[in-house]
Amino acid sequence: MTRQTFLQGTLILIAAGMITRFLGFINRIVVARLIGEEGVGLYMMALPTFFLVITLTQLGLPVAISKRIAEAQARTDYAKIKQILIVSLVITGLSSIVFTVLMVIATPFVATRLLTDERTLYPLLAISPIIPIIAISSVLRGYFQGKQNMKPQSYAQVIEQIVRITCVAFFVKLLLPYGLEFAAAGAMFSIIIGELMSLLYMLQMFKRKKRIKLRTRFFSYLSASKDTVRELFSIALPSTGSRFIASISHFLEPILVAQSLAIAGVSSTLATKQYGELTGYVLPLLFLPTFITNSLSIALVPSISEAEATKNTQLIHYRIHQSIRISFASGAIATIVLSLFSVPILTYMYGTAEASKFVLLMAPFFILLYIQSPLQAALQALDLAKAAMWNSLIGAFCKLGALVFLASNPNFGIMGVAIAISLSVVLITLLHLASLYKSIGFGIPFKDILKMIALILLTWGTGQLIKGIYEQTNAGLILFIILLGLLVFIYILFLFLLRFITKEELKQIPFLQKWVDL
């Protein structure tokens, strides 16, 4: 089986993440154009319930599968690999059946009583068959990650998005005459088809690359799997804590938003529309740079784990420091662009700039989100997953509390939801930093903080000049893209001037190495 080095795997994940995010935005634009803010609101209100069920179904096993298979691969213990796969498929298969049935049964109550909009019934029912598909896919992703082969899951992500975009317009238009709720259900159904094609691709790659036969002596391997189950859950249960907390928070969020806005005197239809603008238009823009930080986090865990095993404290600090520097660099430009150009970006993408007020409020705080994922990965690699879980719990509790307090106040309304989400981002990131400082004495050097401030100020000043040119010329989309490209180019120059990206790091990229040496 083809395997990649640390840097190659990271770059493959980043490339796939970039393509996936781009295609995902196209999908959101298509959906938004076809069903509008209210339809997007129905779509987005149903998603947190789906994410919660998926988290419960997986039980944190993908991370555990990856780690245990990597250990078995190092020992060339193919029997152990086979046992891990068998146990994982049985566990996720059974749990997916159970939670699919429970989701179908509970959907009417969730739609009418918790989400307070009975129209969400159809999107929730439409998405339920996807649970077994994602359960099997998660096992295969963990398997390929453990084999240090990032290509299958990367290609599968791109395939899923392409198929989804191909299908979404057809199903939404087909069902739109029956009502927005059916159109939202059609958008959900396109997700199922995309995930199914992604799974079929990974199954084909597994069949081509595997060195084991799962069906041979299946039950004998399963009956002797007690130790393997314990080994998997010793990792799976702690690692799923943070994700479960996040899923619970996302599940409760639309419920509390609907209830709080109702207290503030906002109708359910308007509340759905406002929540759709915030979660369907704004948050995807703010989360855009996380495909880089998430890819970096996946690669960071084994690197720090290896350094910890060899007691190389200096390397641990260097890797965390390096990940923060790169993550901040990838997020700072997004923060500045969204803050300065929120109106034209939203107008060109969705045909409306109503949500620009959310972007202006949240973008400065979300710059801390971009370093949050590497910090959490560092905590997990240092066997501090429990600390990361408690940090997530505190952040989620504060977010939901602030949400209810602010959103139920007519003076804040939906803006209270945006404030609460921003508060959670800041709090969790600072708590992660505090945990690392307490455990290994890690802190961001003062010199780097000054460089971060200088980077933002220089880019902001340049962006203001470019914004002035755009507004004076009253230009169209083409010139707008060219001006943004110019700003990004200048930003990259600032990165080199301030040494956010070093020459040594560029040398690690194969196709740039010869150019750096010139």
Percent of the chain topping pLDDT 90: 12
Give the number of other Cβ atoms within 10 Å of residue 393's Cβ. 18
Give the number of other Cβ atoms within 10 Å of residue 425's Cβ. 20
Report pLDDT digits (tens) over 144-182.
Answer: 877 778 788 889 988 998 998 888 888 888 888 888 888
Report pLDDT digits (tens) over 442-471.
Answer: 888 888 889 999 999 999 999 999 988 888
Asked if residue 367 has pLDDT above 80, the reply is: yes
pLDDT confidence of residue 278 = 84
Decide: 57 and 91 in contact? Cβ < 8 Å.
Answer: no
DSSP assignment of 85-143: HHHHHHHHHHHHHHHHHHHHHHHHHIIIIISS-GGGHHHHHHHTTHHHHHHHHHHHHHH
Task: Find tokens 């960071």 and name the residue.
Answer: 300
How confident is residue 19, by pLDDT bands cut at 50, 70 and 90?
confident
Whether 422 is covered by a domain: the verdict is no
Decide: 245 and 376 in contact? Cβ < 8 Å.
Answer: no
What does the CA dihedral 513, 515, 516, 518 come to, rounded to 10 degrees? 130
pLDDT confidence of residue 464 = 92
Query: How many domains are contained in the chain?
Result: 1
Distance CA 11, CA 303 (A): 15
pLDDT confidence of residue 48 = 75
Residues in the chain: 518
Whether 105 is covered by a domain: the verdict is yes
What does the CA dihedral 217, 223, 136, 291 come to, rounded to 10 degrees? -110
Whether 462 is covered by a domain: the verdict is no
Distance CA 371, CA 324 (A): 6
* pLDDT mean across residues, the chain: 82
Whether 149 is covered by a domain: the verdict is yes
Whether 85 is covered by a domain: the verdict is yes
Residue, of 265 and 512, whose pLDDT is higher: 265
User: Distance between alpha carbon 361 and the CA centroid of its chain, in Å?
Assistant: 21
Reading the block at residue 214, the tokens are 């799962």
Whether 165 is covered by a domain: the verdict is yes
Whether 170 is covered by a domain: the verdict is yes
Decide: 376 and 389 in contact? Cβ < 8 Å.
Answer: no
pLDDT confidence of residue 197 = 93
pLDDT confidence of residue 130 = 84
Report pLDDT digits (tens) over 60-104.
Answer: 777 777 777 776 776 777 888 888 888 888 888 888 888 888 888
pLDDT confidence of residue 426 = 94
Distance CA 379, CA 239 (A): 11
Report pLDDT digits (tens) over 416-434.
Answer: 888 999 999 999 999 999 9
How confident is residue 309, by pLDDT bands cut at 50, 70 and 90?
low
pLDDT confidence of residue 394 = 92
Tell me the residue range of the domain where 107 lies.
Answer: 1-240
Distance CA 225, CA 214 (A): 14
Q: CB under 8 Å to 84, separation ≥6 — which residues?
A: 65, 68, 69, 72, 228, 232
Between CA 75 and CA 386, with CA 226 as vertex, the angle to 5 degrees is 80
- Across residues 233-250, what is the average pLDDT? 75
Choose among 450, 465, 448, 462: nearest CA to 493: 462
How confident is residue 257, by pLDDT bands cut at 50, 70 and 90?
confident
Decide: 227 and 373 in contact? Cβ < 8 Å.
Answer: no
DSSP assignment of 227-244: HHHHHHHHHHHHHHHHHH
Whether 124 is covered by a domain: the verdict is yes
Report pLDDT digits (tens) over 488-515.
Answer: 999 989 988 888 776 666 665 555 555 5
How confident is residue 126, by pLDDT bands cut at 50, 70 and 90?
confident
- Across residues 210-215, what is the average pLDDT? 67
pLDDT confidence of residue 435 = 93
